[in-house]
Amino acid sequence: MKKALILVDHGSVFDAANEQLAALADLLRKRNHEFDIVRHAHMELARPTIGESFDECVSEGALDITVHPYFLAPGRHSTTDIPRMVEAAAARHPEVRYRVTEPLGIHESLLDIVLERARDRCD
C-alpha cells in the first residue's frame, strides 16, 4: 500500500515564502524511507491547495495519507481548519485512510535549530 505525506503551511502572497515549503518537501522526498509520495500544500492564498495535493497523491496510488500542519504551535488553523479541509478532500476518496498530525510544537530537536539560528545572528 502506497503511503503519502503532505506538508501544509498557511500559504502566502509572497512566492519566496511558498517556495520554502516546496523545498522542504523536496528534501523530505530525498531523505525519507517511510513515504512513497511526499507533497506540499497551502491552506490558502497559494497553490497547490490541500484538496489538489490530496487528489494528486491518490492519483499516484496512495491509499494511506498523512497530513502534517507545518506550524509551530497548535491554533485554529492546525487544529480546526486544516483537519476540516483534509476531511473534505478525503470525502472524495472513501477508500483512502488519512490522518492529520499535530503541528511541530515543543520538541527537543527544535532546540538545536533555535540555538543554531541564534548563533548565526551573534557572529
pLDDT one-digit tens code per residue, 41-53: 999 999 999 999 9
The answer to whether 104 touches 72, Cβ cutoff 8 Å, is yes
pLDDT tens-digit readout, 98-120 = 999 999 999 999 999 999 989 88
74/82 Cα distance (integer angstroms): 11
CATH code of the domain containing 39: 3.40.50.1400
Give mean pLDDT, residues 9-23: 97
Distance CA 87, CA 105 (A): 22
Domain extent for 29:
2-122
Angle at 18 between CA 17 and CA 23, to 5 degrees: 100
Question: What's the confidence (pLDDT) of residue 12?
Answer: 97
49 DSSP 8-state letter: B
Q: How many domains does the chain have?
A: 1
Can you give the pLDDT at residue 117?
87
